[in-house]
Structure 1
């Protein structure tokens, strides 16, 4: 039996609705199959994007995050791989919102860096982030990496209770070498300032750490005596790393090629300092993909291709989706000792 549209308008309406539902169901299934973070109820296959396995099934936990909330710096270190390409800094409430999202996703340790983190609003912005993470989010560990030039004792008096670790970058104990590297400002002594901050850390019960980048200008230096005298909880020793667009390439603000050393030369430096108990070495292989790095827009940075490719901001898409594009090597994070006793309450230090 045949029906015309005029003779059976109800039947035609039902047919149209049925067809539309089928079309929508087909489109939705394709979206679920190809969109990162979404999948159908079937687990027989895992979708791939650009040849990479979708990571939604085993989502990465942001246990330890490095938040470079500013790129501005008062030093001009020639090998710097997070340069002042913008002057943008998130408003405090937005930064706190992002930090809360990270805590809810499993973050246990936050490290604030730059640029120079004490430069923005002369340290108060940083201090408020430190307080928020320790008092409101109750994170086990809150740390900072700084060149030390902008730190005042009054900052420790106001915010020191909420800071677990302060890492000061020091690449040489020779002032002329620091001048060649660019880790200096005017006639101030970087080494003298380092000792002053070490004393403040002890006075205000903040664990003291030193970071050094080994390069062509300091690779022959023996720092053993100075490091043992300062007695940091950790001495992180990095191999100079090239990042396209930051310290290498046409669009870079630095030219770090002249600072780069070979792996064998780096190993010789490590062997010379093997008697330093707090030494924590990190070659380029260990370092490149084993850090979760957030930029000033709270985007994870993927360094797998030798450059910093940003994800979307966690403020826009959430932590789970953004972190799937971070290129983070969680296994290497553990291999290099990324998880350690990082709360000063657990360090049992003798102040």
Structure 2
């Protein structure tokens, strides 16, 4: 069997603005952030992406991560907030990253997906991710997954849109992200997953960064995972400890950041802006645990029941 290629994923939250108001969303920085989003500036965006693609290239011997592990591909995962609120800027960022040889993915709440947007982005994407925490209106209202008018994601439109995306780009893979929390941990996602047929289902335990309103116990989280054992071939779980300091994340201002050893938003660890000081110096200013990254990667190469053991 050929060796599966490793990807190093950089998550760029291009905006914190969102049409939803999920209680546990950590992608909230300060009230002035929207005015300082560098995705609005073509020159700053180009510099940022060039720095990232050069420093995190698998061929760059100056990258200290290579002492711990090696990767074959570099992928830019575009997130938010809701990145599709910035459709024109988003399309440009995707084109710029692809032109630099980076693979590109996006994670969206799905509310702005339609035939036009799918036709615009699908050809450049390796992954299309949609955050779905519930198919129940009551749970979504509690979580905050609705807009100012109370409108929620129409899950029924997704199969057709996913089919369109795959027809445009046969190599495109579909991912569903679910945050397990107090409002949804007793639900059964079987029908939803059978309808959407994703290639991957990432299941996160709610991380109480902003507040603890929807926090759950490890027992409740594991019960949710076990309830969906029929989907072990596509399901990958991450608890709170596994998520900390194991992602490379860039905020809307172009700064690397981590939620290091804290549950308080105000205590995020930030670098200086990458487009101003370069990726190498910025990366030296934050904490990144390569062992955790490697552990997460290994966990995603095996069925979930193997990593759960006898629990």
Give the TM-score range, shorter chain.
0.7 to 0.9
Corresponding residue number in structure 2 for 1:203: 167
With normalisation by structure 2, the TM-score equals 0.80
- The one of 23, 27, 37 aligned to 1:89: 37
Kindly indicate whether structure 1 or structure 2 has the higher relative contact order, using CA contacts under 8 Å at least 6 residues apart. 2
- 2:257 and 2:152 mapped to 1: Cα distance? 34
Cα distance, 1:104 vs structure 2: 0.6
With normalisation by structure 1, the TM-score equals 0.71
| Map 1:46-61 → 2, pairs under 5 A | none
- 1:239 and 1:183 mapped to 2: Cα distance? 17
Corresponding residue number in structure 2 for 1:71: 16
Q: Which deviations, in whole Å up to 9, do the C-alpha atoms of 1:286-306 show, x marking residues without a partner? A: 111111110111111121121
Q: 1:192 to 1:127 in 2, by over 3 A?
A: same
Corresponding residue number in structure 1 for 2:56: 106
Corresponding residue number in structure 2 for 1:262: 217
- The one of 180, 190, 195 aligned to 1:224: 190
- 2:22 and 2:202 mapped to 1: Cα distance? 17
Corresponding residue number in structure 1 for 2:271: 311
Q: 1:288 to 1:278 in 2, by over 3 A?
A: same
**Long gaps (5+) in structure 2:** 1-6, 58-73, 302-311
Q: 1:138 to 1:339 in 2, by over 3 A?
A: farther
- 1:106 and 1:176 mapped to 2: Cα distance? 43
- 2:198 and 2:115 mapped to 1: Cα distance? 19
- Given that 2:159 and 2:195 are in contact with CA atoms closer than 8 Å, whether structure 1 keeps it comes out as no
Q: 1:200 to 1:182 in 2, by over 3 A?
A: farther
Aligned residues: 265
- 1:269 and 1:282 mapped to 2: Cα distance? 12
**Long gaps (5+) in structure 1:** 1-61, 248-255, 342-351
The alignment partner of 1:173 has SS state of: coil
The alignment partner of 1:218 has SS state of: coil
The alignment partner of 2:271 has SS state of: strand
- 1:338 and 1:155 mapped to 2: Cα distance? 34
2:144 counterpart of 1:178: no
Corresponding residue number in structure 1 for 2:241: 285
The alignment partner of 1:236 has SS state of: strand
- Given that 1:201 and 1:207 are in contact with CA atoms closer than 8 Å, whether structure 2 keeps it comes out as no
Corresponding residue number in structure 2 for 1:128: 92
- 1:133 and 1:233 mapped to 2: Cα distance? 23
The alignment partner of 1:115 has SS state of: coil
Cα distance, 1:199 vs structure 2: 2.9
